Amino acid sequence: MYVLVSVLIIIASILLILIVLVQNSKGGGLASNFAGSNQVMGVRKTADFLEKATWTLAISLVVLALLATLTMPRGNEGVTRSAIEEQIQNAQDPTALPNFPVANPEAATAAQPDSAK
């Protein structure tokens, strides 16, 4: 689906470029070629058609771009966490009491005075 939308975006972009290049800001362009009075479409109708085609292609390009973001494949498989995230997950709790290694745990508790228990 994403490939189809991408192809439609490219086609709409090329058509929009061609339509804009055909237009002339001073009223010339393609419309000046149809200046004869015996033409079916007059100069004004050609300019109206080009303007409507420009707006239609521009709106369709925006809609297709939004549709492309919705259909874009998300590569969530095989995503590795960053090194910072791994350090956060593996971090020790700073409020925990440190555990000091002792050779014999029973002897360590017996050697403590009764007031420390």
Q: Which has more pLDDT, 14 or 31? A: 14
Query: Nearest 5 degrees, angle CA 90-CA 93-CA 99?
Result: 105
Does residue 94 lie within any of the structural domains? no
Taking the C-alpha atoms of residue 103 and residue 72, their distance in angstroms, rounded to an integer, is 59
Does residue 85 lie within any of the structural domains? no
What value does the mean pLDDT take over residues 65-82? 80
pLDDT exceeding 90 applies to what percent of the chain? 28
- pLDDT score for 38: 46
State pLDDT tens for residues 20-47.
Answer: 888 876 655 555 555 554 455 556 677 7
- pLDDT score for 17: 93
Does residue 7 lie within any of the structural domains? yes
Q: Which has more pLDDT, 9 or 92? A: 9
Does residue 84 lie within any of the structural domains? no
Residue numbers of the domain that contains 12: 1-17+42-70
Location of structure tokens 């995230």: 85
Q: Which has more pLDDT, 106 or 33? A: 106
- pLDDT score for 76: 64
Does residue 30 lie within any of the structural domains? no
Does residue 58 lie within any of the structural domains? yes
- Structural domain total, the chain: 1
